[in-house]
A and B are shown apart, each in its own frame.
Chain A
Amino acid sequence: MKRYLLVGAAIGLSLAALSCQAPTPPPSESIGADTSVAGPTAPDKVKRGGILRGTWSGTLAHLDLHQVGTLGTWNAGNLMYNGLIEWDAFDKTQQRIVPGLAKSWEASPDGSRFTFRLQDGVKFHDGASLTGDDVVFTLKRIADPPRGTSSARKDQFQMVDKIESPDPQTVVVTTKFPSANLVNLLADGWHVIVPKHVVERDANALKQGGIGTGPYTFKELVPNQKFVAARNPAYFRQGHPYLEGIELYRFGEETTAIAALVTNQLDMVNPAGQGISGQGARDVKARNAAMVVESNPRLAIDIWRYNVTRPPLDDLRVRQAMNLAINREEYVKFLQDSEGPVGTVVFPGSVWDLPKAEQEKLIGYEPNYDQRLQRAKQLLAEAGLAGGFTVTLMATTTNFEDNAQALEAMLGRINIKIKRDPLQQEEARQREAESLFDVYAGGYGIATIDPVGVVGDHFVCGSGRNTSKFCDPELDRLYQEQLKVLDQKERAKVVHEMIKRAINGASMNIINWNNEYHARWPYVRDFVVTPSRYTLASKLEYVWLDK
């Protein structure tokens, strides 16, 4: 409870502070074309019509966005719905929230009462009007699901006390304690508004189809093959979307998807989910130099982490020794599909990032690898483990072998052996959530560029995703402190100390922040890749085909 208060306050304060000074977004690199998008093209210059054909990635359970967290569900499902508020499609700094189904919103001075005024004349795809009741029903469904419905993100709404709709155009959310986090939470793309009259009758109505307010309506679903959506002519944002329809096709492997792209059976790769690998992107460019290929930094990290309660990993020296032996640049080479800057717990290139000289002093980031190995062996000897030991590596089968190969190679240099425990995706996540591992390797999506994004979730003692069970009172103190500092420069200083503490504590270790490659034909315009996937950009309202 206290954690949400602090996170909320932090976000609220930093938003306030940052709105005065726009930070530089981290750079996107493109291979060959200038893909910087300042903002949407003026509506009178846009060509309307056409069907966008793309790939569909990630597993799909079904299309009900509240009940699952699968990427495949997001890809397709989010096209058919809106949230109350959304992260701006064109803001690569991930700071700006724009109106969604709520045309305006305000918080009470004490920060525990939030009033949202809904847009006028919004209709669901079946013609029914959107009212406050639908919003109330939806939020209750997420926060406190009825029997027979699961809510994948229920935990995040713990601080919500009451949700009411005093009149059809207004919704008021009251929280148990002052929370500036709520606004950000509701901007999260998963919290879409669903029609009460449909879902009340049948809790599973949205699984195989979709009735929302979104820019596209459901047309066809063939599991594991394709998803088709058509333009919603009655969309509340007049004039949008520009496209006539969207077709998403599932591909077993990237090579076929790329072949389809270059033969123009597709217009682009995934428009709202994962991109393609660097190798694939280079392949596309090689086969057709006119293709637009770009790499974008995303709020996603690849990590490995230790369970610090399990011996010998409970000894800080042992963990630091392991981190010294693990060379991140080498690690990245093992990860077949991962590219991106090696970084720490904040978004590389952001205002919070450590200067290079400072970063190179962190344990595991020093440039001289031989010296590091020496030091690692020294530390192990001090801990009495010069002869080495065995740890079990747990990870999902999709990327298991890459991680195993990397860790075996590098930890082998200080006599540490790896025992393998690959699991299917869901099982692996479950075990990780319960901290049933020695070493876990995987990846996470991060909610925000703000420093609380990684540290708050993964390092603060007792926090939800701190499955390493790491507890450092000094880190917690620094965390609290930086939450209260209003001046950005001053805050950055505290953040830097916090980063050092987090990294040298050797619990969760970030290999790199993922860059994602996207490839498309040049006639696909106004397509933006925001650092987080779950923004308005994924709804493809602004995308148009210049042909």
Chain B
Amino acid sequence: MSRPASTWWGPAGFARRQPVGAVALLILLGILLASLASPVLAPYDPFANDLSNKWAPPTAAHPMGTDQYGRDTYSRLLLGARYSLFLSFSATFLGVTIGAVIGLITAYSRGWFDILVLRIVDVKMAMPGLVFTLLIVAGLGPSLSGVIIALAVGMLARSIRVIRAAALATREMVYVDAARAIGCPDWRIMALHILPACIAPYIILISISIGGAIVAEASLGYLGLGVQPPTPTWGQILNRAQQTFRQNPWVAIFPGLAISLTVFAFNLLGDAIRDHLDPKLRGR
């Protein structure tokens, strides 16, 4: 039996019970704020060329070095954080929410629609995620919207399954039968009982998916199939990094560190949220 969703453990409760997660949350807020404040924080214009200073190693003037056009890597990373985070948030939110809605509908309707959706989900899960994402991006073309759609579609399957399962579980509850017995209309049952039961899994899904979205976007950028220049997402910055690592290894190192740190924090946070909202899963 899952815990009724009406118990909401507030931020203070969260911080007390999941200290690691709280720290991760703080780090992430820091990164988010830094990215939003990038016009102020960045020492240079991320798009400004300085050809006399190509491929500079980390120095006082350029703490993370410069790239092939002399652009400051640190400034570009700050701006890139904004794009990468925006991309990942949008894709995750889009994918998980649409998946949740579909999951709810199928759980409620049961019948041929349910079976069809389940079959499609099964088929999709038979294909490795990145391969599927590559297909879509290859089809839509490398662009900001293309990447968001591709990543979002990749998240649909898991979201549909999880929310559907949660909705189904609630549906079997005695009190739902009771509600129906006393004549409560379907939509009220949905809103009052089933929906709230799905909130916790929904939040968990989002928090554990964002990290994967960031890594996926970076992989696409590396392959040249992601967002196109001059937009500096973290993945895009790494695009030509391998070709030129002899000239300047630093251009490859820093964006990767930024990605790893951020995803690490998200994963910590995701684990903490999951432990917090569904203690039955603790220990995984």
Q: Do chains A and B touch in the complex (CB under 8 A)?
A: yes
The answer to whether A405 touches B49, judged by C-beta atoms less than 8 angstroms apart, is yes
From A36-44, A330-338, A341-349, A518-526, the one touching the partner chain is A330-338
User: Is the pair B242, A253 in contact by a Cβ cutoff of 8 Å?
Assistant: yes
Contacts of B230 in A (CB 8 A): 401, 404-405, 420
User: Distance (Å) between the CB of B101 and the closest chain A CB?
Assistant: 36
Question: Which residues on B sit within 8 Å (CB–CB) of A405?
Answer: 49, 69, 230
Contact of B246 with A255 in the complex, beta carbons under 8 Å: yes
Asked if A333 meets B51 with Cβ closer than 8 Å, knowing A404-B230, A405-B69, the reply is yes
Whether a CB of chain B sits under 8 angstroms from the CB of A422 is yes
Q: Which residue of A lies closest to B48 (CB)?
A: A409
Which residues of chain B from 195 to 250 have a CB within 8 Å of any chain A CB?
A: 228-230, 242-247
A255 surroundings in chain B (CB, below 8 A): 242-246
**Please, which residues of chain A bring their CB within 8 A of the CB of B145?**
none
Complex Cα distance, B49 from A330, in Å, reads: 11
Q: Is the interface of B mostly helix, strand, loop or mixed?
A: loop
Supposing A401-B229, A401-B230, A422-B228 touch, asked if A334 and B69 sit within 8 A by C-beta, the answer is: yes
Q: Which of B50-73 contact A (CB under 8 A)?
A: 51, 68-69
Query: Given A330-B51, A409-B49: A336 and B246 within 8 A (CB)?
Result: no
Give chain A residues whose Cβ lies under 8 Å from the Cβ of B228: 420, 422
Contact bitstring B157-183, A, C-beta under 8 A = 1, else 0: 000000000000000000000000000
B-contact bits for A376-413, CB 8 A (1 contact / 0 none): 00000000000000000000000011001100010000
CA gap between A334 and B70 in the complex, in Å: 10
B242 CB contacts on chain A under 8 angstroms? 253, 255
Interface residues of B in 16-58 (CB under 8 A from A): 49, 51
Asked if B246 contacts A283 (CB within 8 A), the reply is yes
Contact with A along B70-85 (1 / 0, CB 8 A): 0000000000000000
Instruction: Give chain A residues whose Cβ lies under 8 Å from the Cβ of B243.
Output: 253-255
Asked if A279 is at the interface (CB within 8 A of a chain B CB), the reply is yes
Chain A residues near B244 (CB-CB < 8 A): 255
Q: Which residues of B contact A336 (CB under 8 A)?
A: 68
B-facing residues in A360-386 (Cβ within 8 Å): none
Query: Chain B's nearest CB lies how many Å from the CB of A149?
Result: 30
Could you tell me the distance between the alpha carbons of A409 and B244 in the complex, rounded to whole angstroms?
Answer: 23
> Whole-angstrom distance between the alpha carbons of A495 and B69 in the complex?
38
Q: A283–B69 Cα gap in the complex (Å)?
A: 20
Distance of A254 Cα from B247 Cα, bound (Å): 12
Q: What is the CA–CA distance of A279 and B69 in the complex, to the nearest angstrom?
A: 15
Closest to B239 in A: A401
Docked pose: A284 CA to B243 CA in angstroms: 16
Assembled-state Cα–Cα distance A254/B246 (Å): 10
Report the Cα distance A488→B246, complex, angstroms.
Answer: 48
Complex: how many Å from CA A420 to CA B231? 11
Residues of A within 8 A of B68 (CB): 336
A residues 228-275 in Cβ contact with B at 8 Å: 253-255
Find chain B residues with CB under 8 A from A400 CB.
229
Q: Give chain A residues whose Cβ lies under 8 Å from the Cβ of B245.
A: 255
A contact residues around B229 at 8 Å (CB):
400-401, 404
Closest chain-A Cβ to B36's Cβ sits at a distance in Å of 25
Distance between A254 CB and nearest chain B CB, rounded to angstroms:
7
Q: Measured between alpha carbons, how far is A333 from B229 in the docked complex, in Å? A: 19
A400 to B229, CA, bound (A): 9
Give min CB distance, A34 to chain B, whole Å: 28
Could you tell me the distance between the alpha carbons of A334 and B244 in the complex, rounded to whole angstroms?
15
What distance in Å separates the Cβ of A326 from its nearest Cβ neighbour in chain B?
14
Complex CA–CA separation, A342 to B12 (angstroms): 67
Which residues of chain A have C-beta atoms less than 8 A from B49's C-beta?
A: 334, 405, 409
Candidates A254, A334, A401, A420; contact of B51 at CB < 8 Å: A334
Give the complex CA separation of A254 and B240 in angstroms: 12
Kindly provide the distance from the CB of B28 to the nearest chain A CB, expressed in whole angstroms.
31
Nearest chain B CB to A226 CB, angstrom units: 21
CA distance A283 to B229 in the complex (A): 28
Interface string of A479-512 (1 = CB under 8 A from B): 0000000000000000000000000000000000
11 A-B pairs in the complex with CB atoms less than 8 angstroms apart: A253-B242, A254-B243, A255-B242, A279-B247, A334-B51, A334-B69, A400-B229, A404-B229, A404-B230, A405-B230, A409-B49
Task: Please list the residues of chain B having a beta carbon within 8 angstroms of any beta carbon in chain A.
Answer: 49, 51, 68-69, 228-230, 242-247
Given A255-B244, A409-B49, output 8 extra A-B contacts at Cβ < 8 Å.
A253-B242, A255-B243, A255-B246, A279-B247, A283-B246, A334-B49, A405-B69, A422-B228
